[in-house]
Amino acid sequence: MAIITISRGSFSLGKAVAEGVAERLGYDIISRDLLLKASGRFHVPQETLEKAIHDAPGVFERYSYTKLVYLAYLRATLTEMVADGNIVYHGLAGHILLSLLPHVLKVRITAKLESRVARKMQDGFSEQMARARIIEDDAHRKKWTRKIYHADPNDSSLYDMVISIDKLSKEDAVDFICQCASRKAFEWTHDRIRQVKDLSFACGLKASLIASFFDVKITCEYGNLLVYAGEKVAHSAKFKRTINTFQKENSGIHNLEVHTGVPVPANAV
Amino acid sequence: MDQLTPDMILVMVMISFAIFLFIVEWIRVDVVAILMMVALPLLHLVTPKEAFMGLSSNAVVSIIAVIIIGAGLDKTGMINKLVKPVLAIAGTSSSRIIIAISCTVAVISSFMQNIGAAALFLPAIQRISKIQKIPLSRLLMPVGFSAILGGTVTLVGCSPLILLNDLLVPFDLKPFGLFDVTPIGLALVASGILCFVFLGKFILPQGDVSENKDDEHAHALESSCEQGTQHPCFYELTTSDDFMDYRDIVRVGDIHLRYLVSILALTEPPDIKTMSPAPHIEIRSGVDLVVWGDKKNVERMAAKEGMLLKKTVEHYDKEFDPAHSGIVEAVVSPRSSFVGRPLGKNNFNDRFRVTPLSIHHQDDVYRAKLDDIILRTGDVISFYGTWKRLEALNQEGGLLFSLPQDLEDTRPEKALWAGGWLVLALTMVMGFHVHLSVALMTGALGMIITKVLSIDEAYQSVDWRTIFLLAGLIPLGIATQKTGTAAWIAAFILHIIGDVQPIVLLIVIGILSTLFTLVISNVGATVLLVPLVVNIALVTHTDPRLAALVVGLATSNSFILPTHQVNALYMGPGRYRTIDFIKAGSVISALFLVVMITMIYLFY
């Protein structure tokens, strides 16, 4: 009952591998459904959300924070969707959106540029055009990850497994991933279920607050939500109303406290 | 006007340097004073004997004696006994609460250190605020200001007034008596309180009253713990016989992390009862434990961890008897070494075997991740522990709290002795005109001889920071006087302002002292200004004693900025901003000056 995220460059056969893994293990597969669900929950058009997760922020967007707001919406939706396990996610930024869960199997599928170009050309693109599009797409994703998470998507240390699909076939990749998913490190235990639920609460509250209170950080352990906020924010009526409503709407939250003037821990969202 | 000499210039440099260090606070004010004590003789501005004269001065001896007498009175539980009846009189209206508590605080403050009087009522005022739904910000500032104003009621009420007579000695001026300032002090206290009663609506921040959780907290600490309520309470549980068989090791710290429930007692094999166990202690099968927490959290813990929740505390009934242990609310005092450090770094559990249960910061109550919370002045920490351990924590200093009077190491049977020695000291001063320091030291010695407090307790009660601040700045006053710097500055000021009426001069001195005390310590301001104003007064044919008295009183006129220790203590809990102090403090400061000058003009 693992959670598997598959990160891939375009035309690296990542989608096919994800589908193969989901079919073999009988897991649900999530990709664009995330956008659909987040769009419905937070009333933001799918295209806007997709742009937020795909395109790197522009020079001015750095200051508008809108991309981070949409990202918080996507993260809240994804953590909720994976709460029951048995999931393969092959949409964008899965390894980052779920990075705080230690038992998620994070896979990166890569392929040589030539083979990716060849696959793109099958869609009717000229070689030059296909190459340019793939390079541009890679650059966007690299820039996005760097700007928002200060990480390089090609850094293998972000993943548990990196599979180059050139010499190995799609089936080989599916075999490796399925074997790996059955390891103890990715087992679905009570404690891990609790961790996913905690992250889901933290991300959910963050999504409720972020549009009005951008700097608020949240942790959740054992259903005890801890909100780190500035003095002014912590005592604003709107903030109090939002967190009280969230607590009422989510029965699994046992305690909720707001701390001010305290260093924010690294695992806060 | 005399020519400026190199020594005068050097003294002015040292004064400027001291003021600069007082403002920037790179080093503590008492260390600045010691620096002056050492630097002035090295620069040959005072003789070595003069440099250390402050340590044997009457002011220092008086303040030591006042502190010991205050500690003696405290030891008998007399002061604590005041709290409950005052709260009963206070009732529910905010005006009555302000009047009753402020008057009491002012009276206590006239014989004790202001900060002690202010801290005494802080937890009680916080509870009243919650229960009566009156914003804390409406109550704390009046009480805090009254504590400062109360210091002007007697000559031993605050350090500047204690110091005043010593600063008059070089001028051969008649010293002030203990109650010479009382009419002015009482008028200042009355006007301050009335100002808040009538104008409080306009000058105090309106604030809001926090809800539910805090009330629960207040209730839990106020009343005895009744099981079956939703408030945090003590509960005893037993772990199942197979507790360790089918789960990872569960430690004391894990329980708090998971359920926000604090384990206060735990049985360790073979059958050792451990009070306030450390977070790393493992919980075994079939053992009893006592916890403190919300009922719903305790029940959740019992269900999840397979523990049996007992109806009452049975196995640990002796240990949890209120005669043996309990919960106290400790206020983090200004200048406390705990300020600015996370609670966890202070190792209260390891060092004192007491368990921090919650932190009350402003209107919020924190129970989760207490170790990470950085302590601020005025935060209230609730601790559980045996009274003996809590007493050890109390003696460490930095936290202001009182243990239950009948359980604390108090000596109520000595109350008569303590009161008697205080009365005797006052009679010696008033009736027989014995010197203040001698009379007060007689009272302090009497308390030690009659075992109101031991000599070690007397030594421990003395705040050496205050002593060295006073003693260290006295040579600066001597240097200012001896080198003619004070006379030169006085002449320079007179040259600028020209001839003025005595009343105008006193007003100017009052304003100058107020401004000085806002940026440097009140003792520093007094030491620097008294020689100066006496010189000015002598030239302008104004009574120099009154000029000095204005300085001694106006250096307590510290309301506009939260620089006074009492204001610093109340700023956090009252959630005041500097602008709140500026707003209310400006009115009170102006009123202070008007009342003080009027009283001096009419009665002196």
pLDDT in tens, B402-439: 666 545 566 878 888 988 998 898 888 777 778 888 98
Instruction: Categorize the per-residue pLDDT at B214 as very low, low, confident or very high, splitting at 50, 70 and 90.
Output: very low
pLDDT at residue B1 is higher than 90: no
pLDDT at residue A62 is higher than 50: yes
H helices then E strands: how many in chain A? 12, 8
Task: Assess if residue A266 is contained within a domain.
Answer: no
Q: Are residues B332 and B292 in the same domain?
A: no
A257 and B368 within 8 Å at the Cβ level: the answer is yes
**Could you tell me the two tokens for B256?**
């708090």
Q: Are residues B209 and B240 in the same domain?
A: no
- Average pLDDT of the residues in A63-72: 76
Interface contact B348, partner A, CB < 8 A: no
Determine the 3-state secondary structure of B25 from DSSP.
coil
Q: Are residues A168 and A205 in the same domain?
A: no
pLDDT at residue B320 is higher than 80: yes
Q: At what angle do helices B522-539 and B544-554 cross, to 10 degrees?
A: 160
Looking at the partner chain, which of A221, A222, A259 has a beta carbon nearest the beta carbon of B373?
A: A259
Interface contact A182, partner B, CB < 8 A: no
Per-residue pLDDT at B298: 92
Task: Assess if residue B396 is contained within a domain.
Answer: yes
Q: Which of A23, A27, A24 is nearest to A4 (CA)?
A: A27
Contact in structure between B549 and B185 (CB atoms under 8 Å)? no
List, in sequence order, the alpha helices (H) in B133-157: 136-150
Instruction: Categorize the per-residue pLDDT at A55 as very low, low, confident or very high, splitting at 50, 70 and 90.
Output: low
d(Cα B320, Cα B48) in Å, to the nearest integer?
A: 58
Beta-strand relationship, A104-110 and A161-164? parallel
A263 and B257 within 8 Å at the Cβ level: the answer is no
**Of all helices (H) and strands (E), which one includes residue B393?**
helix B387-396
Q: Are residues A200 and A72 in the same domain?
A: no
Q: What is the pLDDT of residues A115-148, one digit of tens each?
A: 888 888 887 888 888 889 888 888 888 887 787 7
Residue corresponding to tokens 């919020």: B364
Q: Are residues A231 and A123 in the same domain?
A: no
Per-residue pLDDT at A228: 93
Instruction: Categorize the per-residue pLDDT at B213 as very low, low, confident or very high, splitting at 50, 70 and 90.
Output: very low
**Of all helices (H) and strands (E), which one includes residue B257?**
helix B252-259
* Backbone φ, ψ for residue A3 (5° rounding): -115, 125
pLDDT at residue B218 is higher than 50: no
Looking at the partner chain, which of B258, B296, B376 has a beta carbon nearest the beta carbon of A261?
A: B376
Q: In chain A, what are the helix, strand and coil shares in percent, each to the nearest 5?
A: 55, 15, 30
Determine the 3-state secondary structure of B399 from DSSP.
strand
d(Cα B544, Cα B536) in Å, to the nearest integer?
A: 8
Question: For all residues of chain B together, what is the average pLDDT?
Answer: 84
Q: Are residues A120 and A148 in the same domain?
A: yes
Burial A196-210 (b: 16+ CB within 10 A, else e): bbbbbbbbbbbbbbb
- List, as one string, the DSSP characters of B265-323: EEEETTTEEEES--TTPBP-TT-EEEEEE-HHHHHHHHHHHTEEEPSS--TTTTTTSTT
Q: Please indicate, yes or no, whether the overall pTM of this predicted structure exceeds 0.80.
A: no
Q: Are residues A175 and A251 in the same domain?
A: no
B364 and A258 within 8 Å at the Cβ level: the answer is yes
Which domain-ending residue is among B253, B283, B309? B309
B260 and A254 within 8 Å at the Cβ level: the answer is yes
* Backbone φ, ψ for residue B30 (5° rounding): -70, -30
Around Cβ B303, how many Cβ atoms within 10 Å? Answer: 10
Q: Kindly give, in sequence order, each residue whose CB lies less than 8 Å from that of residue B590, ignoring residues fewer than 6 positions away.
A: none
Q: Which of B448, B458, B416, B463 is nearest to B78 (CA)?
A: B416
Task: Assess if residue B444 is contained within a domain.
Answer: no
pLDDT at residue B484 is higher than 80: yes
Interface contact B136, partner A, CB < 8 A: no
Task: Assess if residue B447 is contained within a domain.
Answer: no
Nearest CA in chain B to A264: B372
How far does the CA of residue A257 sit from the closest CA of chain B (Å)?
7
d(Cα B599, Cα B604) in Å, to the nearest integer?
A: 8
How far does the CA of residue B199 sit from the closest CA of chain A (Å)?
26
Task: Assess if residue A167 is contained within a domain.
Answer: yes
Q: What is the pLDDT of residues B397-412, one digit of tens each?
A: 788 876 665 455 668 7
Q: Are residues B158 and B284 in the same domain?
A: no
Q: Are residues A100 and A161 in the same domain?
A: yes
Residue B325: half-sphere exposure toward Cβ, Cα within 13 Å: 19
Looking at the DSSP bridge assignments, the partners of residue B576 are: none
Q: Which of B1, B3, B5 is nearest to B44 (CA)?
A: B5
B257 and A221 within 8 Å at the Cβ level: the answer is yes
Per-residue pLDDT at B221: 41
User: How many domains are contained in chain A?
Assistant: 2
Task: Assess if residue A250 is contained within a domain.
Answer: yes
- Average pLDDT of the residues in A188-207: 90
Per-residue pLDDT at A59: 57
- Average pLDDT of the residues in A219-231: 91
The amino acid occupying position B231 is H
Interface contact A190, partner B, CB < 8 A: no
Interface contact A189, partner B, CB < 8 A: no
Interface contact B368, partner A, CB < 8 A: yes
Per-residue pLDDT at A175: 92
Interface contact A124, partner B, CB < 8 A: no
Task: Assess if residue A81 is contained within a domain.
Answer: yes
Task: Assess if residue B92 is contained within a domain.
Answer: yes
Q: What is the pLDDT of residues B567-591, one digit of tens each?
A: 877 877 787 877 888 899 999 999 9
Around Cβ B406, how many Cβ atoms within 10 Å? Answer: 11
CA distances from B289 to B249, B264, B293, B320, B458 (A): 16, 8, 13, 12, 40
Q: Where are the beta strands (DSSP E) in B81-197?
A: none
Q: Are residues A154 and A240 in the same domain?
A: no
- Average pLDDT of the residues in B187-203: 91
**Could you tell me the two tokens for B156?**
């031993």
Which domain-ending residue is among A186, A207, A242? A186
d(Cα B407, Cα B389) in Å, to the nearest integer?
A: 12
Q: Kindly give, in sequence order, each residue whose CB lies less than 8 Å from that of residue B253, ignoring residues fewer than 6 positions away.
A: B279, B280
- Average pLDDT of the residues in B473-480: 85
pLDDT at residue B170 is higher than 60: yes
Per-residue pLDDT at B433: 75
d(Cα A79, Cα A74) in Å, to the nearest integer?
A: 9
Interface contact A226, partner B, CB < 8 A: yes
Q: Are residues B5 and B138 in the same domain?
A: yes
pLDDT at residue B215 is higher than 50: no
Per-residue pLDDT at B498: 77
pLDDT at residue B32 is higher than 60: yes
Nearest CA in chain B to A221: B258
Task: Assess if residue A35 is contained within a domain.
Answer: yes
Looking at the DSSP bridge assignments, the partners of residue A258 are: A227
Per-residue pLDDT at B144: 92
Interface contact A252, partner B, CB < 8 A: no
The amino acid occupying position B466 is T
Looking at the DSSP bridge assignments, the partners of residue B282 are: B251
A222 and B376 within 8 Å at the Cβ level: the answer is no
Task: Assess if residue A267 is contained within a domain.
Answer: no
Q: Are residues B79 and B206 in the same domain?
A: yes
d(Cα A104, Cα A4) in Å, to the nearest integer?
A: 6
User: How many domains are contained in chain B?
Assistant: 3
Taking CB atoms and an 8 Å cutoff, what residues of chain B touch A261? 374, 376
CATH number of the CATH domain containing A242: 3.30.300
Residue corresponding to tokens 């368990």: B355
Around Cβ A147, how many Cβ atoms within 10 Å? Answer: 14
pLDDT at residue B224 is higher than 60: no
Q: Are residues A30 and A157 in the same domain?
A: yes
Interface contact A267, partner B, CB < 8 A: no
Interface of B with A in 287-326 (CB under 8 A): 296-297, 300
Q: What is the pLDDT of residues B233-276, one digit of tens each?
A: 889 999 888 887 777 888 999 999 999 999 999 988 778 888 88
How far does the CA of residue B363 sit from the closest CA of chain A (Å)?
9
Q: What is the pLDDT of residues A71-93, one digit of tens each?
A: 889 889 989 888 877 889 887 77
A265 and B372 within 8 Å at the Cβ level: the answer is yes
How far does the CA of residue A100 sit from the closest CA of chain B (Å)?
18
pLDDT at residue B210 is higher than 80: no
Listed ranges A140-149, B35-44, B281-290; the one with the highest mean pLDDT: B35-44
Q: Which of B80, B571, B108 is nearest to B332 (CA)?
A: B571
Interface contact A260, partner B, CB < 8 A: yes
Q: What is the pLDDT of residues B539-571, one digit of tens each?
A: 888 899 999 999 999 998 989 877 777 887 787
**Could you tell me the two tokens for B378?**
């005025």
d(Cα B390, Cα B494) in Å, to the nearest integer?
A: 57
A263 and B372 within 8 Å at the Cβ level: the answer is yes
Q: In chain B, what are the helix, strand and coil shares in percent, each to the nearest 5?
A: 60, 10, 30
* Interface mutation target, options B217, B258, B365, chain A, most CBs of A under 10 Å: B258
- Average pLDDT of the residues in B85-109: 83
Rounded (5°) CA angle B146-B150-B155: 160
A235 and B373 within 8 Å at the Cβ level: the answer is no
CATH number of the CATH domain containing B251: 3.30.70.1450
Taking one residue from A and the other from B, the number of pairs with CB-CB distance under 8 angstroms is 44
d(Cα B554, Cα B129) in Å, to the nearest integer?
A: 31
Q: Are residues B374 and B494 in the same domain?
A: no
Q: Are residues A166 and A248 in the same domain?
A: no
pLDDT at residue B50 is higher than 80: yes
Q: Are residues B60 and B179 in the same domain?
A: yes
Taking CB atoms and an 8 Å cutoff, what residues of chain B touch A233? none
Which domain-ending residue is among B309, B342, B367? B309
Q: Are residues B458 and B598 in the same domain?
A: yes
Per-residue pLDDT at A262: 86
Per-residue pLDDT at B209: 56
Contact in structure between B403 and B387 (CB atoms under 8 Å)? yes
Rounded (5°) CA angle B361-B362-B365: 45
Q: Are residues B54 and B132 in the same domain?
A: yes
Taking CB atoms and an 8 Å cutoff, what residues of chain A touch B297? 254-255
pLDDT at residue B520 is higher than 90: no
Interface contact B52, partner A, CB < 8 A: no
How far does the CA of residue B334 sit from the closest CA of chain A (Å)?
18
Q: Are residues B580 and B473 in the same domain?
A: yes
Interface contact B575, partner A, CB < 8 A: yes
Around Cβ B180, how many Cβ atoms within 10 Å? Answer: 16
Taking CB atoms and an 8 Å cutoff, what residues of chain B touch A224? 257-258, 260, 368
Listed ranges A100-114, B168-182, B186-200, B497-511; the one with the highest mean pLDDT: B186-200
A259 and B369 within 8 Å at the Cβ level: the answer is yes
Boundaries of domain holding A54: 3-186
The DSSP symbol for B171 reads G
How far does the CA of residue A53 sit from the closest CA of chain B (Å)?
34
Q: Which of B390, B361, B362 is nearest to B264 (CA)?
A: B390
Which domain-ending residue is among A186, A218, A248? A186
Around Cβ B554, how many Cβ atoms within 10 Å? Answer: 30
Looking at the partner chain, which of B260, B364, B575 has a beta carbon nearest the beta carbon of A255?
A: B260
Looking at the partner chain, which of B260, B368, B374 has a beta carbon nearest the beta carbon of A261?
A: B374
When comparing pLDDT for B212 and B529, which is higher?
B529
**Could you tell me the two tokens for B248?**
């990872």
Q: Are residues B487 and B563 in the same domain?
A: yes
Interface contact B284, partner A, CB < 8 A: no
CATH number of the CATH domain containing A86: 3.40.50.300
Looking at the partner chain, which of A222, A234, A263 has a beta carbon nearest the beta carbon of B257?
A: A222
How far does the CA of residue B258 sit from the closest CA of chain A (Å)?
5
Task: Assess if residue B566 is contained within a domain.
Answer: yes
d(Cα B404, Cα B214) in Å, to the nearest integer?
A: 22
Boundaries of domain holding B360: 325-400
Which domain-ending residue is among A131, A159, A186? A186
Q: Are residues A220 and A93 in the same domain?
A: no
Cis peptide leading into B270, omega within 30 of 0? yes
A255 and B361 within 8 Å at the Cβ level: the answer is no
B259 and A235 within 8 Å at the Cβ level: the answer is no
A254 and B300 within 8 Å at the Cβ level: the answer is yes
Contact in structure between B320 and B265 (CB atoms under 8 Å)? yes
Instruction: Categorize the per-residue pLDDT at B596 as very low, low, confident or very high, splitting at 50, 70 and 90.
Output: very high
How far does the CA of residue B577 sit from the closest CA of chain A (Å)?
11
Contact in structure between B337 and B301 (CB atoms under 8 Å)? no
Nearest CA in chain A to B343: A262
Q: At what angle do helices B522-539 and B6-24 cross, to 10 degrees?
A: 140
Q: Kindly give, in sequence order, each residue whose CB lies less than 8 Å from that of residue B601, ignoring residues fewer than 6 positions away.
A: B503, B506
Contact in structure between B293 and B234 (CB atoms under 8 Å)? no
Task: Assess if residue A268 is contained within a domain.
Answer: no
Taking CB atoms and an 8 Å cutoff, what residues of chain A touch B373? 259, 262
Per-residue pLDDT at A199: 92
Looking at the DSSP bridge assignments, the partners of residue B288 are: B238
Q: Are residues B59 and B188 in the same domain?
A: yes
In total, chain A counts a number of residues equal to 269
Which domain-ending residue is among B309, B342, B373? B309
